[in-house]
A and B are shown apart, each in its own frame.
Chain A
Amino acid sequence: MAYKINAADCTGCGACEAECPSRAIRMKGDVYAINPDKCTECAGKFDSPQCVGACPSDCISKL
């Protein structure tokens, strides 16, 4: 149960990191990556995964 960032389309803007309630997103080189062990898909906190909604490149999808 986790989301992943498609590194090829990530621009490194950091919008996802700022929204993540689980602190599951970190910078990895020039782009961001989601730690699948920490990602909760925002279950119980929000109606929809926050990183997916915030990403301007629409490059976050289900693992």
Chain B
Amino acid sequence: MRKVAAVAARMPQLSVVGIAGPGDALADWRHTFETFELISRQFPDIKLCLSTNGLALPDHVERIKALKVDHVTITINMVDPAVGEDIYAWVFYDHKRHTGREAARILHERQIEGLRLLVEAGILVKVNSVMIPGINDDHLGTVNEAVRSHGAFLHNVMPMISDPAHGTRFGLEGRRGPTPAALKQLQDQLGGGARLMKHCRQCRADAVGLLGQDLSQDFTMDRVAEMATEDRPDERRLYRELVERERQDRDQAARIAEREIEVAVNAPPLLVAACSRGGGRINQHFGHAREFQLYEVDGNGIRFVGHRRADHYCQGGYGEEDKLEAVVKALDGVSVLLAARIGSCPSDRLKQAGITVVTDHAHDYIETAVAAVYRAHLAAAAPPAPAVARAS
């Protein structure tokens, strides 16, 4: 609570507070609901959200509704106990520990029941699925269909983070997370199902910050103890109004950009990476980019398809050169990179890797720039158009 107050006093951007743990938010439900009550009393304008594995969810739906929790995220990695028994070693349910397929069956039934009850109660439900190669990667299409049919409004497929240093079972077994290309292929496959979420950055459960900008280190419990906590709700309201105006402005720019590329009906799509500090603009130096936003463009429009990280702690690597090589690897499949600025050395390396670097669109909206590079790409690829249009 002290932390929420300290963040609220410093960041007018604060709009949502979520509880995702420790362990599971509903294992220790007394503390979770008590915290929600304190927050909603002191900050009635701030949205609440909850993240859970769903095991205890059906028992708490009424309370979640009464607390006006805005949305709930359930992590569902399988809808078949035969898949689930390879993911979950055991569950503690009804005062007993259950193992094997029985454990996975209980978890599955509780997750789907919780999802159904929340949807019935009119609460938005997002589903998170962790893609675990060799375990559930072929199964997530079935999961997508199931959660969509039960009314989840958003499905987020994220890569497993696996590092022996984290001490997780799969990490210790040496099971690797999926490559960015494999993740994108699966997300594309599922694109037609429940709306797929693409902006997830897999922040920690105790994260404070903005998408792609983790500020947790500024708000450790030690520091929070010394911070002022007087609330500034008017600044939050002004900030939200500004965001809304910028959003409308960007939407309009995107509509104009899409109209410009409608002509290219049958051309193959192009994958473009953008360096952005936020606001939907090309406003970041390549060297400062910690991640790249990926857009796919063809005659049907411009689609945000995800992001690739440049500093993923699981990739390892030391020194500038290794970092650049990690970035090149992360940009696998990308044809064009948009940045506000870039040094000549990384620019040369990217060109060598077959990536066209464009800095002409600094501070433009991403969609405007993507449409422009797509038109330039088509013009370069297509044979020159006939000078005179012939009637046929």
Residues of A within 8 A of B (CB): 11-15, 17-19, 46-48, 50, 53-54, 56
B22 and A53 contacting across the interface, CB-CB below 8 Å:
no
B21 and A13 contacting across the interface, CB-CB below 8 Å:
yes
B97 and A53 contacting across the interface, CB-CB below 8 Å:
yes
User: Which chain B residues numbered 1 to 43 have a C-beta less than 8 Å away from chain A?
Assistant: 21-24, 27-31
Contact pick for A47, options B21, B31, B96, CB 8 Å: B96
Across-interface contacts of B29 in A (CB, < 8 A):
18
The 4 closest A-B pairs by CB, nearest first: A13-B23, A53-B97, A14-B28, A13-B22
Closest chain B residue, CB of each to CB of A53? B97
A15 and B96 contacting across the interface, CB-CB below 8 Å:
no
Q: With A12-B22, A13-B21, A13-B22 known to touch, is A54 a contact of B27 (CB < 8 Å)?
A: yes
Across-interface contacts of A50 in B (CB, < 8 A):
95
Q: In the complex the two chains form, what is the Cα distance from A19 to B29 in whole Å?
A: 11
Residues of B within 8 A of A (CB): 21-24, 27-31, 92, 95-97
Q: In the complex the two chains form, what is the Cα distance from A11 to B166 in whole Å?
A: 13
B92 and A18 contacting across the interface, CB-CB below 8 Å:
no
Across-interface contacts of B21 in A (CB, < 8 A):
13
B95 and A46 contacting across the interface, CB-CB below 8 Å:
yes
Q: In the complex the two chains form, what is the Cα distance from A14 to B66 in whole Å?
A: 24
Across-interface contacts of A46 in B (CB, < 8 A):
95
Q: In the complex the two chains form, what is the Cα distance from A54 to B97 in whole Å?
A: 7
Q: In the complex the two chains form, what is the Cα distance from A14 to B30 in whole Å?
A: 11
Seed contacts A14-B28, A46-B95; 12 additional CB < 8 Å A-B pairs: A13-B21, A13-B23, A15-B23, A15-B28, A15-B92, A18-B27, A18-B28, A18-B30, A48-B96, A48-B97, A53-B92, A53-B95
B92 and A14 contacting across the interface, CB-CB below 8 Å:
no
A-B contact pairs, 15 of them (CB 8 A): A11-B22, A11-B23, A13-B21, A13-B22, A14-B27, A14-B28, A15-B27, A15-B92, A17-B28, A18-B27, A47-B96, A50-B95, A53-B95, A53-B97, A54-B27
Q: In the complex the two chains form, what is the Cα distance from A54 to B55 in whole Å?
A: 13
B28 and A54 contacting across the interface, CB-CB below 8 Å:
no
Across-interface contacts of B95 in A (CB, < 8 A):
19, 46-48, 50, 53
B92 and A54 contacting across the interface, CB-CB below 8 Å:
yes
Closest chain A residue, CB of each to CB of B92? A54
